[in-house]
Amino acid sequence: MDASLLAWYLAPAAALMLYYALRRRRAESAHARELAAAVAAGMTEPPSLHPVVDPLRCIGSATCVRACPEKALGIVDGRATLVSPASCIGHGACEASCPVRAIELVFGTERRGIDIPRVDPNFETNVPGVFIAGELGGMGLIRKASEQGRQAIRTIASRPRRHGALDVLIVGAGPAGIAAGLAAIEAKLRYRLIEQEPDLGGSVFHYPRHKIAMTQPVELPIVGTMRFTEVSKEALLAFWRRIVSGTGLAIHFSERFERMERIDGGFRVVTGRGTCEAAHVLLAIGRRGTPRKLGVEGEERAKVVYRLVDAAQYRGLHVLVVGGGDSAVEAALACADEAGTAVTLAYRGDAFSRAKPANRERLDAAARAGRVDVRLRTDVSAIGESDVTLAGPQGEARLPNDRVIVQAGGVLPTELLRSLGVDVETKFGSA
Ligand SMILES: Cc1cc2nc3c(=O)[nH]c(=O)nc-3n(C[C@H](O)[C@H](O)[C@H](O)COP(=O)(O)OP(=O)(O)OC[C@H]3O[C@@H](n4cnc5c(N)ncnc54)[C@H](O)[C@@H]3O)c2cc1C
Ligand code: SF4
């Protein structure tokens, strides 16, 4: 073959290679910028289970980057890197996709330990009769949480029944608690399912609006296979609500598990609504914790919430946000972005020193522009029907008010577990 003919054949291949090389370089630059932005924002710690890449094994194939539905991975310096650690929710799709097994999933990091309760293969803890299912046990994901809830109830159903008490108290109506409740109906157990929030769904309820959840088919008791693989938050919540009404699953909303003590044959449990006796307790409470309350007069009013789900619902209203961390600052700023919303941010501390620098700068700008009325060294003393009373350096002030968003931190599930005597292991980057 003469040289010109060879060039004729090779030119398209060379052009194609050049095209892919340029595309890859562009993608790598974008990944490096994303990583730099995460570092600058201090968002370098993944929430729980996450991949660690062995740089000696990684060949930079980018299959994990493509496999990650959360776009948490990128290629930096030719190696797979967690470029958006805060986005990682521990699917494990990256680990499964890696052709050279360079990825391992671990809990926690050297700097930030993750508390994982010890459970046996039946999801029972070291406290006999106390079970844990779902994300609280360390493994996130809708499918895994549902599956664990179902399996824990199967074990409980195989145990002897006790007269006069519930067979199981299920705590939490996220994916794990819903599946557990259905399994309890199927096994004809005497169950009670309580949920501290006024609605079901757990973490899913708090996803951003229209977020698409990726999941694998889930086997639900009574209902059969939930065949979604990609589903919007709203459609998933609607699906669960249909199941609840179709199966008669009883969920006691706005009832919080407080504590329990061992009694003969089970536990006496104290909730926000009273006490009950149960032979078994299944904790399906996730890892988000329980929001800390203010403990002031009027806090029980329906206008007081502990999480911001959608700032648009506060448009045109008088909103008080309480707290000094990132969540409080972000909630205040999100509400202030809505047209006609009058936002006051009250914090008992001297400065927003716990918030990220970028949030502090945005808050300063919003306060200067008169979009957020910032009140430091200020406590809430009462919440009225259409006003709130604040006590600050200038004395008491009564402000018109339609909604209160409390972001005063939370009681972590680990504290609850330790108080129940459940063994908890802190993992610093191990499987
Ligand atoms: C932003 C984000 C995106 C995600 N995307 C996906 C995805 O695409 N696909 C996927 O599979 N997974 C995803 N996940 C993970 C998934 O949502 C969780 O793994 C799953 O919801 C865990 O279910 P759970 O039932 O164990 O806990 P949760 O969903 O956290 O539910 C726990 C429930 O217990 C209640 N509770 C807590 N304490 C108490 C108490 N003391 N008394 C009464 N009730 C209590 C809570 O209010 C809550 O309703 C995502 C998570 C986040 C944060
Ligand atoms: S564990 Fe899941 S979310 Fe995290 S990087 Fe891997 S594929 Fe992405």
Q: What is the pLDDT of residues 317-366, one digit of tens each?
A: 999 999 999 889 999 999 999 999 999 999 999 999 878 888 899 999 99
Residues 383 and 421 in one domain: no
Last residue of one domain, picked from the residues 84, 106, 128: 106
Q: How far apart are CA 271 and CA 276, in angstroms?
A: 8
**Token pair listed for 391:** 């006590």
- pTM, two decimals, is 0.80
**Run of H or E residues at 259:** strand 257-263
Residue from 422, 145, 109, 156 nearest 287 by CA: 145
Angle between helices 233-247 and 175-186 (to 10 degrees): 20
pLDDT at 279 over 90: yes
Q: Which ligand neighbours the alpha carbon of 98 most closely?
A: 2
User: Tell me, what CATH number does 350's domain have?
Assistant: 3.50.50.60
**pLDDT digit string, tens, across residues 217-232:** 899 999 999 888 889 9
The domain of 205 spans 115-290+412-427
Residues 122 and 200 in one domain: yes
Mean pLDDT, residues 266-289 taken together: 94
**Run of H or E residues at 74:** strand 73-76
Amino acid (one-letter) located at 81: T
Residue in 49, 142, 226 to alter for ligand 1 test, most ligand atoms within 8 A of Cβ: 142
Percent of the residues in the chain that have a pLDDT greater than 70, as a whole number: 99
Residue in 203, 209, 258, 290 to alter for ligand 1 test, most ligand atoms within 8 A of Cβ: 203
**Residue with CA closest to ligand 1 atom 10:** 141
Residues 27 and 81 in one domain: yes
Residues 91 and 150 in one domain: no
Q: How far apart are CA 309 and CA 142, in angstroms?
A: 19
Give the strand pairing for 379-383 and 387-392: antiparallel
pLDDT at 157 over 80: yes
**Token pair listed for 289:** 């914790």
Amino acid (one-letter) located at 410: G
- Per-residue confidence at 17, pLDDT binned at 50, 70, 90? confident
**Cα–Cα–Cα angle for 238, 239, 245, rounded to 5 degrees:** 90
Domain presence at residue 298: no
Q: Who's near 319: CB < 8 A, 6+ residues apart?
A: 335, 341, 342, 343, 344, 401, 402, 403, 404, 405
Distance from CA of residue 377 to its chain's centroid?
Answer: 30
- 392 by Cβ neighbours in 10 Å (0-12 / 13-18 / 19+) ranks as middle
Last residue of one domain, picked from the residues 77, 106, 135: 106
Residues 315 and 375 in one domain: yes
3-class state of residue 188 by DSSP: coil
Domain presence at residue 392: yes
- Per-residue confidence at 1, pLDDT binned at 50, 70, 90? low
Task: For residue 108, give the DSSP letter.
Answer: S
Last residue of one domain, picked from the residues 58, 89, 106: 106
Count the alpha carbons within 13 Å of 411 in the hemisphere toward its beta carbon: 15
When mean pLDDT is compared over 211-215, 217-221, 398-402, 412-416, the highest value belongs to 398-402
Q: Looking at the CA of residue 90, tell me the nearest atom of ligand 2.
A: 1
Residues 136 and 256 in one domain: yes
Instruction: Calculate the alpha carbon distances from 293 to 96, 196, 399, 408 in Å.
Output: 42, 13, 20, 7
Residue from 59, 56, 108 nearest 85 by CA: 108
Helix locations, 69-190, DSSP H: 93-97, 142-157, 175-186
CA of 71 to the centre of ligand 2 (A): 8
The response to whether residue 304 sits with its C-beta less than 6 Å from ligand 1 reads no
Q: Who's near 417: CB < 8 A, 6+ residues apart?
A: 115, 117, 136, 283, 424
